[in-house]
Chains A and B, each alone.
Chain A
Amino acid sequence: MPFNPRRVVNDFTIEAATVNGSGSQTSNLILTHSIFRMGVPVGPKNVFPSNIAGLPTWYILRVNENGFLARKRSLEILVCLNPATYAKDIARVDPGGAVIYESSYALPESAKRKDIAYYPVPFDHLAARHIAEVKLKKPLTNMIYVGVLAELLGIEASAVEGAVRHQLQGKAGAIRANLDAIELGKKYAKENLKKTDPFFIERRDKTKGKILIDGNSSAALGCLFGGCTVAAWYPITPASSLTESLIDFFAQHRKDASGKNTYCVIQAEDEIAALGVVIGAGWAGARAMTATSGPGICLMSEFVGLGYYAEIPAVIFDVQRIGPSTGLPTRTAQGDIQFVATLSHGDTKQVMLLPATVQECFEFSVQAFDLAERLQTPVFVMSDLDLGMNLWLTDPFNYPQKPFDRGKVLSEEELSRRGEFARYLDVDGDGICYRTYPGNSHPKAAYLTRGSGHNEQAAYTEDGAAYQKVIDRLNKKFETSRTLLPEPETDYRPGAAVGILAYGSTHQAVAEARRILQESGIETNYLRIRSYPFQKRPVEAFFEKCRTVVVVEQNRDAQMAQILKLEIPSEHAAKIRSVLHYDGFPIPAEALVEGIAAKAGPTDASAPVIAAGEE
């Protein structure tokens, strides 16, 4: 294949196909951080199996100097280190792309493409010859491809070294061994491979001051800075790393002067008990959280009903994965939205925060503790596997400016001043009542909290009218919550007739799709819902301004669209079209463009009609 004179700089996708459990994650992270240290934005997606070792895994690294880092369908550079998948993997490479593969693989005829560059590398042989320690041979084999890529793409040695040091934080022996393995690959590539592909990394300054962090760590940081003291959990993919990060943060930042813990983390016997601990702690006046995924949410639903009806604060992170049932535990979805919105039996409405970025994972997490205590109800933070477990490029997080809001809690002094206390009486007319903490010594402070029928005085009742009074007041509280939750974010473009309505982790793909549409002459408006319930006015205004509204979701049943239809006038609801993506992978920007183009109908009086709208 002749050298391709077209240079493609800082705009392509690299994919490493490896075997789960082979230590490839360290190599992938070092590659990611190396490019990050070249000042070039990177967006990784780790596609991993529900397995400890042996099954295929793919690490997809989008490189884009303009900062568009959503998943794309196109694949330019492939590293093949999995004998079980390489033939299929090679077939997915775009024409003009490049493949680095283990040279001992016998490529079948179907994989011998004329339109891509091949770089055979004897990974196993190199490792066997040059890596002395037996147990390091496998993980360091993966490190060799970092060296090969660094050489082929022109990643500077200082950037690679910085990445290795960052990843292996101070472990001198490991740093040396990894740098040696990288050098092995670099040297081999330099001496044996002739570059015929057009892809290069060139130094930029687009990552200066930025960080790479995953949503789960970000949410855990929010718990730390939000004053969480009790965390109870049950391990589940993809939520485990949220609590595990929190455990690390707690250990470093939450010791009293005598070295004792100002927190308690309980690994419970199941998700029911996990939320039980949280409800018990919230009832007693502590800020408490749990993190789980769909199956855990199912188990928690009875306690969520208690939290809603007895009005007990709790913060619940749902890092969504594909369902139903066990589903695809390591694939992403936005499939719990409708389920959580009315979680538990009877008339219930739950409060959800919908973070779209790691920044919002942090901010909403801090805010969730204030909201749970202000609203005296469980508050859900609806993240997902893509947002939670992948690294995202972001500005560092800002220190929270607002002091804690502990909500309406009456002290002994306040009770003496008021003289009267009824736990479920709507004194202020906003549906939010006053509470006391257990331990309050005022003779009128105590009451028995119960999930059974209760009146405004918190006494047991089977009286229909008394029950209705409380349940209606809960609805009022839900309406009040609209004003306290994060407002929808909007971006209006002049002349736009099409609106895109999205929420959560599709944000980046939407941003890129809007840019692609704009380049083809189609302007779009954008509204991003950041909570449920949401403020109705901005949403209705958006519908008024748009001829059609395309609702983008990562689920089969258009769950947010269904919720919207209940909340907005029918003439607005009639404008809704759905673009749905639910194969477990984040929606690629191209698919979103096609979906919007197909569903949007006429985009503008003057703009070309790109497809007939579906009616």
Chain B
Amino acid sequence: MMAPETKKNRLGLSVEAYLGGLSTLCKGCGHDAITRHIIEAFFDYGVAPHEVAKMSGIGCSSKTAGYFMSRSSGLNALHGRMPSIATGANVANRSLKVIGISGDGDTASIGLGQFCHLLRRNVSLIYVIENNGVYGLTKGQFSATADPGSKLKSGTVNPYDAIDCAVLAIELGCGFVARSFAGDGAQVVSLLKAALSHPGAALLDIISPCVAFNNHEGSTKSYPFVRKIDAPLHGLDFTSGFAEISAQYPEGAVQELKLPDGSSLNLKKLSRDYDPTDRAAALRTLEESREKGELVTGLLYYDAGKKDFNATENLTDTPLCRLAEKELRPSPDALRRIMERYG
């Protein structure tokens, strides 16, 4: 009998090459589901693991950088500071595919400033917020993305409005803004693959229930509640630019977004017309869904036209970290001429 053939991606790697260390998160944690989606997306897309840099801050979400792609380098840094280290790594080595993992505390509270400025610069990376509305590692305090009126396990009601990172991202000019749910693997994987094809910053705000502290009655980020309010904007189907066959759709049913690497994201119409390239419509839809108490998911906003940070900074094609001394240290004559200016 022949051994079953393991599936290989376009690089000839099997999914084992994308696995990470064992998770120490709680059984059933939304973050672990997202970890699996990341592995699937990066494997499917065919990203070379050593070309990936995994950057994270502090919190349950940030720990997951250790749970996928052990053959990728990573930097698990400081609370709220993932954007700055990701920016530094990105400019130092522009050939790295950077994925930043953060949480709602990491991004919407202590790291809100860095989050905004990373988007403003349009640094090339996939920014994943594993958003559960609570601080898990410190045992269940509200975060700034907790919805008003939602309840802690203790019964405490959150009196404050939530910070919506997706709305912020659209306002800050991010060219790829998506929202999804850890429980919707197909959607998360499609969005991640599309994000891999996007040259600038791609934000994925993924609702990721905390089974320990925020999965009870009265929570608005529990598995049952999110399943109830989840309102996908469209069905998503990612077609790799590297694949030979592309899917056929009946005319009018699909909006095809061409991505810069030759891939495309096909948006299958569901209950409504939604054009993610219309920024005003995106903001309006988010506001209306907030009023209705539904959670719209999918690709909220897309703009391929914006220059990424490396282009804005006019960076040389060779990664800065690979430039040799002869390219970096000006000549003795250059020093002599500089010195003359001070004489």
Across the interface, which residues of B come within 8 angstroms of A447, CB to CB?
Answer: 73-74
Within 8 A of B (CB), among A420-445: 436-443, 445
- B-chain residues with CB within 8 Å of residue A262 when the two chains form the complex: 316, 318, 320, 323, 327-328
Residue A471 CB within 8 A of the other chain? no
Chain B neighbourhood of A287, CB < 8 A: 328
Q: Are B75 and A280 in contact (CB under 8 A)?
A: yes
Question: Which of B50, B74, B313 meets A445, CB within 8 Å?
Answer: B50
Would B316 and A279 count as touching, CB distance under 8 A? Answer: no
Q: Does B255 contact A (CB under 8 A)?
A: no
**Set B55, B114, B320, B342: member contacting A273, Cβ < 8 A:** B114
Given A210, A263, A268, A274, which contacts B343 in the complex, CB threshold below 8 Å? Answer: A210
Q: Is the CB of B87 within 8 A of A277?
A: yes
Cβ-defined contact, A397 with B339, below 8 A: yes
Contacts of B113 in A (CB 8 A): 269-270, 273
**Residue on B with the closest CB to A274?**
B84
Whole-angstrom CA separation of A274 from B84 in the bound complex: 7
Contact of A264 among B48, B315, B329 (CB under 8 A): B315
A residues less than 8 Å from B85 (CB atoms): 276-277, 279-280, 283
Smallest CB-CB separation from B339: which chain A residue? Answer: A396
Pick the interface stretch among B63-71, B164-172, B212-220, B288-296: B63-71
Residues of B near A181 (CB, < 8 A) are: none
In the bound complex, CA of A517 to CA of B23 (Å): 70
**Chain B interface residue number, banded:** 35 or more
With the chains together, A260 CA to B320 CA distance in Å?
11
Which of B70, B74, B81, B117 contacts A449 (CB under 8 A)?
A: B74
Contact B75 A264 (CB under 8 A): no
Report the nearest A residue to B84, measured CB to CB: A276
B residues within 8 A CB of A258? Answer: 316
> In chain A between 242 and 283, which residues have their CB closer than 8 angstroms to a CB of chain B?
249, 253-254, 256, 258-264, 266, 268-270, 272-283
Known: A285-B93, A397-B339. A230 touches B76 (CB 8 A): no
Give residues of chain A (277-296) contacting chain B, Cβ–Cβ below 8 Å.
277-288
B334, CB-defined interface residue at 8 Å: yes
In this assembly, does A452 line the interface, its C-beta being within 8 Å of a C-beta of chain B?
yes
> A276 touching B53 by the CB < 8 A rule?
no
Chain B residues with Cβ under 8 A from A67's Cβ? none
CB-defined contacts of A225 to chain B, threshold 8 Å: 329-330, 335
Contact between B78 and A303, CB atoms less than 8 A apart: yes
Contact residues in A for B83 (Cβ distance below 8 Å): 273, 276
Q: Does the CB pair A439–B117 fall under 8 Å?
A: no
Interface flag for B77 (CB, 8 Å): yes
How far does the Cβ of B17 sit from chain A's closest Cβ, in whole Å?
9
CB-based contact A280/B88 at 8 Å: yes
**Within the assembled complex, what's the spacing in Å between the Cα atoms of A270 and B81?**
12
Contact indicator A266/B342 (Cβ below 8 Å): no
Given A261-B316, A446-B49, A448-B65, A281-B88 contact (CB < 8 Å): yes
Tell yes or no: B89 within 8 A of A by CB: yes
Whether A227 and B325, one on each chain, are in contact in the complex, defined by CB atoms closer than 8 angstroms, is yes
Contact A280 B87 (CB under 8 A): yes
Say yes or no: is A521 at the interface (Cβ < 8 Å to chain B).
Answer: no
Question: Quick check: is A451 within 8 A (CB to CB) of the other chain?
Answer: yes
Residue of A283, A310, A436 most packed against chain B (CB within 10 A): A283
Chain B residues lying within 8 Å of A221, measured Cβ to Cβ, are: 335, 338
Complex contact B54–A448 (CB within 8 A): yes
B282 at the interface (CB under 8 A from A): no
Partner of A438, one of B70, B81, B93, B318: B93
Contact, CB under 8 Å: A448 / B343: no
Given contacts A210-B343, A276-B77, contact A438 B71 (CB under 8 A): no
Interface membership of B15, Cβ < 8 A: no
Q: Counting CB contacts under 8 A, is B233 at the interface? A: no
Residues of A within 8 A of B161 (CB): none
Determine whether the beta carbon of B332 is less than 8 Å from that of A399. Answer: yes
How many A residues face the partner with a CB closer than 8 A? 74
Is B96 close to A, CB under 8 A?
A: yes
Q: A230-B91, A397-B335, A438-B89 are in contact. Are A285 and B321 (CB under 8 A)?
A: yes
A302 at the interface (CB under 8 A from B): yes
Report which of B75, B335, B336 forms a contact with A283, defined as CB distance below 8 A.
Answer: B75
Which single member of B73, B91, B114 contacts A276 (CB below 8 Å)? Answer: B114
**Known pairs A260-B315, A260-B316, A264-B91; A229 contacts B321 (CB<8 A):** yes
The distance in angstroms between the C-alpha atoms of A225 and B334, with both chains bound, is 10
Does B71 lie within 8 Å of A227, measured CB to CB?
no
CA A286 to CA B320, docked complex, whole Å: 6
Interface string of A439-469 (1 = CB under 8 A from B): 1111101111111100000011000000000
A404-B324 Cα distance, complex, nearest whole Å: 9
Within 8 Å by CB of A439, from B66, B86, B93, B316, lies: B93
B257 touches A (CB below 8 Å): no
Asked, given contacts A210-B343, A229-B323, A283-B85, whether A438 binds B53 with beta carbons under 8 Å apart, the answer is yes
B29 adjacent to chain A (CB < 8 Å): no
CB nearest neighbor in A for B321: A285
**Minimal beta-carbon separation of B85 from chain A (angstroms):** 3
Does B256 have its Cβ within 8 Å of any Cβ on chain A? Answer: no
Query: Which residues of A from 387 to 422 have beta carbons under 8 Å from B?
Result: 396-397, 399-400, 403-404
Q: A399-B335, A404-B325 are in contact. Are A276 and B81 (CB under 8 A)?
A: yes
Q: Is A597's CB within 8 Å of the partner chain B?
A: no
- Asked whether B95 is an interface residue with its Cβ less than 8 Å from the other chain, the reply is yes
Residues of chain B lying within 8 A (CB to CB) of residue A213: 342
B154 within 8 A of A: no
A285 x B92 contact (CB < 8 A): yes
CA distance A232 to B92 in the complex (A): 12
Residue on A nearest B24 in the bound complex, by CB: A460
Contacts of A263 in B (CB 8 A): 320
The reply on B51 being an interface residue by CB < 8 A is yes
Contact B88 A306 (CB under 8 A): no
Contact yes or no, A273 B339, CB < 8 A: no
Verify B96–A439 contact, CB threshold 8 A: yes
Given A225-B335, A229-B321, A283-B75, are A288 and B328 also a contact pair (CB < 8 Å)? no
Closest B residue to A302 using CB positions: B78
Q: Does A229 contact B117, Cβ atoms closer than 8 Å?
A: no
Shortest distance from the beta carbon of B210 to any chain A beta carbon, whole Å: 20
User: A224: CB under 8 A from chain B?
Assistant: yes
Query: When chains A and B are docked, how far (Å) is the Cα of A278 from the Cα of B88?
Result: 6
A-B contact pairs, 28 of them (CB 8 A): A211-B343, A221-B335, A227-B325, A260-B314, A260-B315, A262-B328, A272-B84, A273-B81, A273-B113, A273-B114, A276-B77, A276-B88, A277-B87, A279-B77, A280-B77, A280-B88, A281-B92, A396-B343, A397-B335, A397-B339, A437-B93, A437-B321, A438-B93, A440-B73, A441-B50, A448-B70, A449-B76, A450-B75
Question: Which 6 pairs across A and B sit closest by C-beta, in order of nearness?
Answer: A280-B88, A276-B84, A280-B85, A286-B92, A438-B73, A285-B321
